Amino acid sequence: MATVDTNDQAPGTEPEEDGVRRRDFLNIAAVSVAGVGGAVVLLPLINQMSPSADVLALSSIDVDLSAIEAGQAIKTTWRKQPLFVRHLTADEIAEADAVSLSELRDPQTLAERTAEGHKEWLITLAVCTHLGCIPLGAAQGENRGEYGGYFCPCHGSHYDTAARIRKGPAPTNLVVPEYEFTSDTTVTIG
Amino acid sequence: MVRVIGFLVGLGFVFVLGFSLITGAINYVSNPPAETVEHEFHRHAHAPEGGFASDGPFGRFDRQQLQRGFQVFKEVCAACHSLQYVAFRNLTDLGFTEPEVDAIADQWQIQVPTVDPETGEETTRNAVAADRFPHVYPNETAGRAANNNAYPPDLSLITKAREGGAAYTYSLLTGYQDPPEDLPEANRPGTGLYYNPYFANLNLAMPPPLTADGQVTYADGTEATIDQMAEDVTAFLIWTAEPKLEARKSTGWAVLIFLVFATVLAWLAYQNVWRDQKH
Amino acid sequence: MSFPWAEQYKPTNPFMRWMDDRLPLPRLVYNAVGKGYPVPRNLNYFWNFGVLAGLFLVIQIVTGIVLAMHYAANSSIAFASVEHIMRDVNSGWLMRYVHANGASFFFIVVYIHIFRGLYYGSYKPPREMVWLLGLVIFLLMMATAFMGYVLPWGQMSYWGAQVITGLFEAIPLVGTTIKEWLLGGFAPDNAALNRFFSLHYLLPFVIAGVIILHIWALHLPGSSNPTGVDVKGPQDTVPFHPYYTAKDGFGVGVILILFAIMVFFLPNYLGHADNYIEANPLSTPAHIVPEWYFWPFYAILRAFTVDFILPAKLWGVVAMFGSILLLFFLPWLDKSPVRSGKYRPQFKIWFWVLVVDVLILGWCGGAPAEEPYVMISQLASMYYFAHFLIILPIISRTERPRPMPNSITEAVLGTDESAAQPAAAS
C-alpha cells in the first residue's frame, strides 16, 4: 500500500488469511502478559491488610494461675481479645462430665476442652460464638445462665461449666485457644 | 492589553532582579565570602575498602558480619544510644534462632517500663522478643543531662538519616584524631568535645567509642580491630535502617525482568498494530 | 464529539444494547479512548505523557489509600507509624517507596507533558481551556505534593511546612493571621498535620475530576499534533484504539522500567537524609530544600535579595506565584498563528534556552543559598520572566515562520520523492 487511505481497515477486520492469526496472537499475548502483571500487583495490595509483624509478635502471653481459687474466674486479654481463665470446682467438673454428648449441640467432653492433667483449668476465649459479645459469668455475682457456666446477655446464649453451648442462638462452644502449662501455676497462651 | 500589561510586569521583575543581581555582585566583589574553617578542614565520608556486602543491585547482608556488628552495638553503642524502631524479634533476620533472641531480650541491659499489675506502680520488667529495644533514657532531657547536654541520637535509621549514609557512619567511627597544627584556636575542641573532620562542625561530643583493638571479643574468631568493629557495626546499622533491603532487591529483579519482557511484547504489538499505517 | 468520520458505537451484544440505552458508559469510553476517537496519525512519543501522567495519578491514589490504612496522622506517632509501615506491615516498604517515588515520576511526566505543550503550541486556540485546566491540575499537584511531604513528620517535613507557610507572612497586614490560620497554630503541629493529611487525601480526587474536564475540553477540537496543522479529513487520523492504546502500552512499559529501577534500587535517591530524623521544632537542618520538583520555583523565590519599594521577601513570594500564574495568560501572550515550534525558527531557539534556563533554576534551587548560586538564579529568573512576558509576545509578531505542510497526511508522506517510494511496512 502506497497511500494511507487503507486506514479504515483495522487489523482485526482484515480478510481471513493465515497472517491474521499470527498478528492477533501477538496482541493477545501482550495484553495477557499485562493482565498477569496487573493481577500479581494485586497480591501485595491485598496482603498488606493481613496482620502486620508487630501484631503477630504479640500473640502469646503468660498467665499466673496461683491466685485463682477454685470456683473463681479471671478475665484477661490475648491477641486483643478477652479471655476467661476459670478454676473449676469438683462439683462443676462432675456436672460437666455427667452430661451425655448426645445432648450437646457441639459435642465435646470437658477432658477434650482442658489440658491433660489440668482438668480444673478451663481456658476459653470470652467471645460468644454467636456474634462476638462477651458472656457474663466470670466475675463474682454475675449471671452464669441456666447451666452454671456463662451467659451471653446480647442474645441469650447459655454455656455450661465446660463453656459448651447448651441453649440460645450460638452455634458452637466457646473457643479453647492453644496453650500449654509451663509450670503448675503458669500457662502460656498462644 | 494582556501583552502590554505582561510586558510591563516582565520588565518590572527583570528590573528588580537586575537590581538584586548588581547589589549582590558589588557585595560579592567588595566582600568576597571567605571559605569557612569547617569547610576547609571537613573531610568527605568514605566507605571501607571494598564497600559493604549490601552495596549494589545484587548486594546481600553478610549475616556473620551483622551478628558481629550487633555485638559491637550491644557492648559499645547501646550504653548511650537507643534503637527504638527495631524489635528483638527482628534479630532472627541476623541468623539468630528464636531461643537465642528470647535470651538476648531477657538479658538485655535495659529493662522495659511497665506497670505492676498488683500495685499499679511504675516498674520495669525484662524485655521479651516482641518488645522494641528499650530507650536508654526515659526522655530527651534525661539523655542530655547524662551526656553533657548532647543527646545521643537514636541509631535505628542513622545510616539513612545522614548525608553520606553508611560511609559517614563508618568514617565518623574511624575518624577521631588529634586536631591538625594549623587549626585556628576558635575551632579547637573545647572541654568534652573531640576533633573529627567527618563531623559537620569538626568537633563532636561523643567520645571515641572504639578505642582499642580487641575491645570486643568476637565469637567467630574474627580479629576485632577498630576498623573491623567500625565496619561491622556500620553493616549492622545498615540493616537496622533498611531491614527489607534484601526483599527489596530480589523483588526488584523479578519486577524488572517481567517488565522488560512485557515491554518487548508491547513494542512488538505496537509495531504489529501500526504496520499498515504510515506515520 | 470531534470529527464526523468518527466510528459510531454500535453494540452487538443484547446486554450492551440494553446497557447503552440506560447508562451509556461503554459509549463514553468508546468515544474517549476507543475506536470512536479519531487522533492525528503523526503523534510522536511526546504525546504519550498525558496517559503516563494518568498512570501515575492512579498509582499514587492506590498506594496512598493503602498507606492511609496504616499511617497515623498524629504528630506524636506519625513518624513511628511510617517506620511501622516500613518494617512491620506486609509489603509496607514497597507501598511507601512506590508512593514516594511515584510523586517524583508524576512530576517528571507532567513536566515533559507541559514542555511538549509549550513547544508544539498546544495552548493556542482552540485549546486554551485544555491548557488552563492543565495548569489547575499542576497547581493542585503542587499543593498535594507539598502536604504529602509533611506527613512523615521528619525534619524536612516539619521545616518545609514552616518555610512554605511562612511565605504567606510576606503578605502585608494579614500575612501572619493567614499563616496561623493555615497551620492552626503558631508553628506546625498536630493541627497542621491533621488538616494536611485530610487535604492530601482529598485533593487527588479533585485532580481526577479536573482531569476529566481536561480530557473533555481536549476532545472537542481533538488532539493537537507535531505539525500543528489542523486535521482536514479522515486520511489524517487513526482511531485511538488500537493505534494509540498500543503505543501507550509500550510507553507505559518503558516508564515502569525506569520507575522500578528507582523504587527497588535507589528508593531514597530523590529524598533527603534529614527526613529520616523525626521532626524537631528546636533544631533546623543545616540545608533546607524542598523536593526536587519545586527547585526551579524555590530558586525564583530566593533570587530576590534586595528590598525595592516592597520587601525582598514579598517580591520573592509574588514572583514565585507569578511564575506559574503567567502561564495562565500564555495563550494571549503568544499570538503567533503557527502552533508548532517546528516551523518557528526563532521560537525554537528561545524554547530551548527556556528549557536550559529552567534546568539551571532547578540546579540553583537545590543548592545552598550562597554565591554564586544566588547570582546565577537571578540571571536565570530574569530570563524566565523575560521569555514569557517580553520575548514571546515580540517574536510572535516579528518572526517569519517556515513553510508548513498543507495537511498532516502530506507531512507524514513527506515530499513527492518520498511519497513515490513504497510505504514502509507493506
Asked, for residue B27, whether it belongs to a domain, the answer is no
- Min Cα–Cα distance to chain A from B167, Å: 30
Q: Is A4 in Cβ contact with C41 (below 8 Å)?
A: yes
Task: Count how many domains chain B has.
Answer: 2
Q: What is the mean pLDDT of residues C263-285?
A: 95
Same domain, B156 and B67: yes
Asked, for residue C10, whether it belongs to a domain, the answer is no
pLDDT tens for each residue of C143-171: 999 999 999 999 999 999 999 999 999 88
Decide which of A103 and B78 is more confident: B78
Q: Which three cell numbers stand for residue C238?
A: 487513526
| Identified catalytic residue from C2, C122, C157, C223 | C223
Asked, for residue C348, whether it belongs to a domain, the answer is yes
Range of the domain at C244: 39-272+287-425
Q: What is the mean pLDDT of residues C361-376?
A: 92
| Identified catalytic residue from A87, A118, A130, A155 | A155
Q: Which three cell numbers stand for residue C239?
A: 482511531
At C309, is the secondary structure helix, strand, or coil? coil
Per-residue pLDDT band at A1 (split at 50, 70, 90): very low
Asked, for residue C248, whether it belongs to a domain, the answer is yes
* Mutation to test the B interface, candidates A33, A47, A68, A77, most B Cβ within 10 Å: A33
Residues of C in contact with B259 (CB under 8 A): 253, 256-257, 260
pLDDT tens for each residue of B198-219: 998 899 999 999 999 999 999 9
Range of the domain at B46: 37-86+132-242
Whether residue C169 lies in the annotated active site: no
Asked, for residue C282, whether it belongs to a domain, the answer is no
Same domain, B184 and B212: yes
Task: Please check whether residue C297 is in contact with residue C365, taking contact to mean a CB–CB distance below 8 angstroms.
Answer: yes
**CATH code, domain with C349:** 1.20.810.10
Q: Chain A residue with minimal CA distance to B266?
A: A30
Gap between the Cα atoms of C58 and C207, Å rounded: 11
pLDDT tens for each residue of C86-129: 999 999 999 999 999 999 999 999 999 999 999 999 999 999 99
Gap between the Cα atoms of B21 and B77, Å rounded: 50
Confidence check: pLDDT of B255 > 70: yes
- What is the domain partition of chain A in residue ranges? 19-50, 55-189
Q: What is the mean pLDDT of residues B39-62?
A: 92
Q: Which of B87, B259, B265 sits opposite A54 (nearest CB)?
A: B87
Per-residue pLDDT band at C425 (split at 50, 70, 90): very low
List CB contacts of C229: < 8 A, sequence separation 6 or more: C340, C404, C405, C406, C407, C408, C411
Q: What is the mean pLDDT of residues C206-219?
A: 96
Chain A: residues touching B (Cβ < 8 Å):
1, 4, 6-7, 9, 11, 23, 26-27, 29-31, 33-34, 37, 40, 53-54, 57-58
Per-residue pLDDT band at C287 (split at 50, 70, 90): confident
Whether residue C248 lies in the annotated active site: yes
Asked, for residue B193, whether it belongs to a domain, the answer is yes
DSSP for A92-147, written as a single string = HHHHHHHS-GGG-SS---TGGGSBTTBTTEEEEESS-TTTSPPPB-SSTT---TTT
Per-residue pLDDT band at A69 (split at 50, 70, 90): confident
Gap between the Cα atoms of C181 and A108, Å rounded: 65
Q: Chain B residue with minimal CA distance to C397?
A: B3
**CATH code, domain with B67:** 1.10.760.10
Give the distance from CA B62 to its chain's centroid.
18
In the predicted model, what is the mean pLDDT of chain C? 93
Give the distance from CA B275 to its chain's centroid.
53
Same domain, B159 and B251: no
Confidence check: pLDDT of C188 > 70: yes
Residue A184: predicted pLDDT: 83
Gap between the Cα atoms of C323 and C299, Å rounded: 11
Confidence check: pLDDT of C247 > 80: yes
Gap between the Cα atoms of C13 and B2, Å rounded: 54
> Minimal CA–CA distance to B259: which of C55, C266, A26, A34?
A34
User: Residues of B numbered 78-97 whose beta carbons fall under 8 angstroms of chain A's beta carbons: which are they?
Assistant: 87, 89
Angle at C134 between CA C132 and CA C140, to 5 degrees: 110
Ranking A30-39, A134-143, C62-71, C147-156 by mean pLDDT, the lowest is A134-143
Per-residue pLDDT band at A182 (split at 50, 70, 90): confident
Gap between the Cα atoms of C123 and C404, Å rounded: 19
What is the assigned CATH class of domain A55-189?
A: mainly beta
The percent of residues in chain A predicted with pLDDT above 70, rounded, is: 88
> Minimal CA–CA distance to C308: which of B31, B15, B24, B6?
B15
pLDDT tens for each residue of A28-66: 999 999 999 999 999 999 999 999 998 888 777 888 888
| Amino acid symbol at C28 | L
Long-range CB contacts (< 8 A, 24+ apart) of C297-301?
A: C297/C323, C297/C324, C297/C365, C298/C365, C298/C366, C299/C361, C299/C362, C299/C364, C299/C365, C299/C377, C299/C380, C299/C381, C300/C361, C300/C377, C300/C381, C300/C384, C301/C167
Gap between the Cα atoms of A58 and B277, Å rounded: 63
Asked, for residue C1, whether it belongs to a domain, the answer is no
- Min Cα–Cα distance to chain A from C65, Å: 10
Same domain, B145 and B79: yes
Same domain, B192 and B162: yes
**Alpha carbon distances (Å) from C51 to B230, C48, C238, C252:** 49, 6, 17, 8
Asked, for residue C117, whether it belongs to a domain, the answer is yes
Q: What is the mean pLDDT of residues C290-311?
A: 93
Per-residue pLDDT band at C414 (split at 50, 70, 90): low
Q: Which three cell numbers stand for residue C230?
A: 489542523
**CA neighbours closer than 13 Å in the CB half-sphere of residue C193:** 20
At A159, is the secondary structure helix, strand, or coil? strand
Confidence check: pLDDT of A142 > 50: yes
Q: In the complex, which subunits touch A with 3 or more CB pairs below 8 angstroms?
A: B, C
Same domain, B194 and B80: yes
Residue B21: predicted pLDDT: 94
The residue whose grid cell reads 578505642 is: B211
State pTM to two decimals.
Answer: 0.91
Per-residue pLDDT band at C35 (split at 50, 70, 90): very high
Q: Which three cell numbers stand for residue A115?
A: 489440658
Asked, for residue C5, whether it belongs to a domain, the answer is no
ipTM confidence score: 0.94
Q: For residue C261, list its beta bridge partners.
A: none
Decide which of A6 and B156 is more confident: B156
In the predicted model, what is the mean pLDDT of chain B? 93
Same domain, B219 and B265: no
> Minimal CA–CA distance to C145: which of C117, C185, C105?
C105
Long-range CB contacts (< 8 A, 24+ apart) of A53-56?
A: A53/B89, A53/C87, A53/C88, A53/C89, A53/C90, A54/B87, A54/B130, A54/C84, A54/C88, A55/C88
Same domain, B192 and B257: no
Asked, for residue B175, whether it belongs to a domain, the answer is yes
